[in-house]
């Protein structure tokens, strides 16, 4: 069986055009949603992600402000930068690009973000809300995976999803999302990780297999059940002298081998990545809408009684 492609670019175009239309109406009533992006250091992959996020913001009408700090910036400077965005009225969402340099306590920085602006969904308040199954900011990558499945009308109810990787950014958060009650939840979830023996025993039972360990081409065809849906969250740069830039992007899945057995599969690049950015746009719009409402204005622009 040759798998069909889960085209994240196509899905992202469709979701982004809806977001852009909503922002256009929203901005007429209030102001454009605003995103503050903090980048510490000059890691080329992080730089490239941040550029992608800013370009996407521009395309849908979100105002974005990038604050770049030196690779050796002290923790206090990063915390002060976050605090300046917390109190900035033009900013609805804050994203601190990860990973941060070693001298910075990543958790402390994420906790410094005002939870009402936590569009990355990585503050403990957002993660706790997700675990409770309540509405809040959902981390963008797992959110993107769910929206990609939704776009292609691939249900999760009652299906066995095997997630490889237990990171907060992807594996653990995605498992919690899939366990929520309701459409695009209600899955049976197995989470595997680096200490799981006999991975194939688990992966071969997956209706939906999600690879998010950051190990290039780790998942071969022999780990994929015939007819499974394969979602590849991994993106690694691997040396490739045949490319002008000297490297290529490689997912956690051996695409060609896995495609021979899967029913649906995401490419890398062009799969989950574009959806991750799209959900950042969605979270930023949601945040702006909430902030407008709590500032005492109704969406028709009238000032609410007492507002
Ligand atoms: N680095 C890689 N993925 C992410 C993400 O989703 N959010 C942030 N802040 N940094 C990342």
CATH of the domain at 91: 3.40.50.10860
Q: Do 154 and 262 belong together in one domain? A: yes
Q: Tell me: do 232 and 149 sit in the same domain.
A: yes
**Which residue range is the domain that position 145 belongs to?**
140-272
Residues 110 and 154 in one domain: no
For residue 102, how far is its CA from the centre of ligand 1 (angstroms)? 16
Answer yes or no: do 168 and 240 share one domain.
yes
Q: Quick check: is 92 in a domain?
A: yes
Q: What tens digit of pLDDT does each residue of 31-54 get? A: 999 999 999 999 999 999 999 999
Do 150 and 106 share a domain, yes or no? no
The response to whether residue 145 sits with its C-beta less than 6 Å from ligand 1 reads no
Q: Are residues 236 and 170 in the same domain?
A: yes
Q: Which residue has the tokens 């963008």?
A: 140
Residue 232 lies in a domain: yes
Residue 289 pLDDT more than 60?
yes
The end-to-end CA distance of the chain, in Å, is 60
CA distance 79 to 94: 12
**CATH number for the domain that contains residue 235:** 3.40.50.720
Are residues 109 and 155 part of one domain? no
Task: Count CB neighbours of 305 within 10 A.
Answer: 7
Cis peptide before 67 (omega within 30 of 0): no
For 183-205, the pLDDT digits (tens) are 999 999 999 999 999 999 999 99
Q: Is residue 90 part of a domain?
A: yes
The verdict on residue 180 lying in a domain is yes
Given the CA of residue 280, which atom of ligand 1 is nearest to it?
Answer: 6
Band of the pLDDT at 296, cuts 50, 70, 90? confident
When the pLDDT of each residue in the chain is averaged and rounded to a whole number, the result is 96
Comparing C-alpha atoms, which of 208, 236, 213 is closest to residue 224? Answer: 208
Q: Is the pLDDT of residue 304 over 80?
A: no
Confidence of residue 305 (pLDDT cuts 50, 70, 90): low
> Distance from the CA of 98 to the center of ligand 1, in angstroms?
5
pLDDT at 120 over 90: yes
> Does the C-beta of 97 come closer than 6 Å to ligand 1?
yes
Ligand 1 site, residue 169, Cβ cutoff 6 A: yes
How large is the average pLDDT for residues 171-176? 98
Mean pLDDT of 111-124: 98
From the CA of 170, how far away is ligand 1's center (Å)?
10
- 36, 43, 44, 49, best to mutate for ligand 1 pocket (most atoms within 8 Å of CB): 49
Given a contact cutoff of 8 angstroms between Cβ atoms, the answer to whether 210 and 163 are in contact is yes
Assess whether the C-beta atom of 141 lies below 6 angstroms from ligand 1: yes
Number of domains in the chain: 2
Residues designated catalytic:
53, 97, 120
Pair 149, 94 in one domain = no
Rounded average pLDDT over 201-226: 98
pLDDT on residue 294: 93
Average pLDDT of span 4-8: 98
- Same-domain pairing of 84 and 164: no
Nearest to 191 by CA among 176, 248, 21: 176
94, 98, 119: residue to mutate for ligand 1 pocket, most atoms within 8 A of CB: 98
Does residue 65 fall inside a structural domain?
yes
235 C-alpha vs ligand 1 centroid, how far in Å?
12
Peptide linkage before 269 cis (omega within 30 of 0): yes
Q: Is the pLDDT of residue 303 over 70?
A: no
Question: Is 223 contained in some domain?
Answer: yes
Which pLDDT score is estimated for 307? 45
166 and 113 in a common domain? no
Is the domain of 55 the same as that of 164? no
Residue 302 pLDDT? 55
- 70 within a domain of the structure (yes/no): yes
Mean pLDDT along residues 175-181: 98
Note whether residue 182 is domain-resident: yes
Q: What is the pLDDT of residues 91-102, one digit of tens each?
A: 999 999 999 999
For residues 177 and 267, state if they share a domain: yes
Q: What is the pTM of this model?
A: 0.95
């Amino acid at each position: 069986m040759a798998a069909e492609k889960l085209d994240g670019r196509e899905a992202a175009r469709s979701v982004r055009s809806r977001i852009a239309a909503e922002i256009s109406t929203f901005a007429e009533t209030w102001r454009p949603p605003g995103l503050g992006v903090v980048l510490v250091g000059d890691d080329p992959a992080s730089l490239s992600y941040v550029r992608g996020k800013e370009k996407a913001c521009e395309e849908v009408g979100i105002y974005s402000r990038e604050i770049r700090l030196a690779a050796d910036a002290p923790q206090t400077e990063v915390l002060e930068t976050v605090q300046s965005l917390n109190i900035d009225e033009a900013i609805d969402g804050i994203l601190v690009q990860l990973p941060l340099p070693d001298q910075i306590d990543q958790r402390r920085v994420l906790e410094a973000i005002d939870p009402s602006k936590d569009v990355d969904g990585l503050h403990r308040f957002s993660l706790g809300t997700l675990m409770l199954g309540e509405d809040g900011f959902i981390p963008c990558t797992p959110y993107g995976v769910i929206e990609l499945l939704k776009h292609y009308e691939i249900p999760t109810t009652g299906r066995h999803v095997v997630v490889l990787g237990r990171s907060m950014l992807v594996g653990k958060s995605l498992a919690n999302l899939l366990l929520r009650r309701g459409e695009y939840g209600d899955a049976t979830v197995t989470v595997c990780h680096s200490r799981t023996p006999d991975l194939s025993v688990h992966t071969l039972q997956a209706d939906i297999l999600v690879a998010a360990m950051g190990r290039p081409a780790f998942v071969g065809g022999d780990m994929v059940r015939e007819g499974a849906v394969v979602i590849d969250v991994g993106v690694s740069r691997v040396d490739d002298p045949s490319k002008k830039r000297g490297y290529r992007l490689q997912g956690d899945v051996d695409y060609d081998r896995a495609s021979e057995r899967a029913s649906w599969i995401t490419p890398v690049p062009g799969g989950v990545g574009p959806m991750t950015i799209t959900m950042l746009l969605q979270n930023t719009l949601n945040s702006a809408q909430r902030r407008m409402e709590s500032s005492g204005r109704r969406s028709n622009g009238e000032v609410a009684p007492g507002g």
